[in-house]
Amino acid sequence: MLTAPALGHPNRYPFYLAIALWCSWRWPARLAPGNVVVFAVGFVLVSALLVQMLKAGLDLARPMAALGPASVTLVGEPETSPAFPSGHAAFAVLAAAALAPRTARAVRAVLLLFTIGVCLSRISVGAHFPADVLGAALLSLAIVKALRAAFRVESPR
């Protein structure tokens, strides 16, 4: 369960953007350039701005701090930043929602499994409450939808 959060950490963004750019350049019919634009701009809005602002503004405690060590089994190192929204979940959902439309079924399946793995792992390792993950997912989905409308990038059919 520690592998999924490591793969879904927002600091992996440059790596994933590089892969997306290369794939979009190499196979534009398989990964639409508009999807990569939505991913790039969405990352700035979600991970770099909104998640950080919400964490600082709301300052909600993580499960260990809120419930105590007797109630939570923590796997890995404790995190001290505020809990809501989950930055890992926001990043994973953003990546999948931005990059998956109009791609091959196998690519969509991998992105879906990646997102589910990251989101569930954040809860199972004791780092977040389910509401932290759900809030992050909804935030990312809303931003992707807004960016698709603003940039007139086709949504999946």
In this structure, are residues 122 and 5 in contact, taking their beta carbons and an 8 Å threshold? yes
pTM metric for this prediction? 0.85
Position 19 in a domain: yes
pLDDT-derived band at 151, boundaries 50, 70, 90: confident
Asked whether residue 157 is assigned to any structural domain, the reply reads no
Q: In the chain, what is the greatest distance between 2 CA atoms, to the nearest angstrom?
A: 52
Q: Which domain holds residue 124?
A: 3-151
The H-assigned helical ranges of the chain are 3-7, 13-26, 33-43, 51-58, 63-67, 87-99, 105-124, 130-151
CA distance 87 to 150: 24
For residues 153 and 96, the model is more confident at 96
Q: Give domain status of residue 42, yes or no.
A: yes
Based on the structure, what is the number of domains in the chain?
1
Convert the pLDDT of each residue in 34-83 to its tens digit: 899 999 999 999 989 999 999 899 888 777 666 667 766 666 676 777 77
Does 156 fall in a domain? no
Dihedrals phi, psi of 9, to nearest 5 degrees: -70, 135
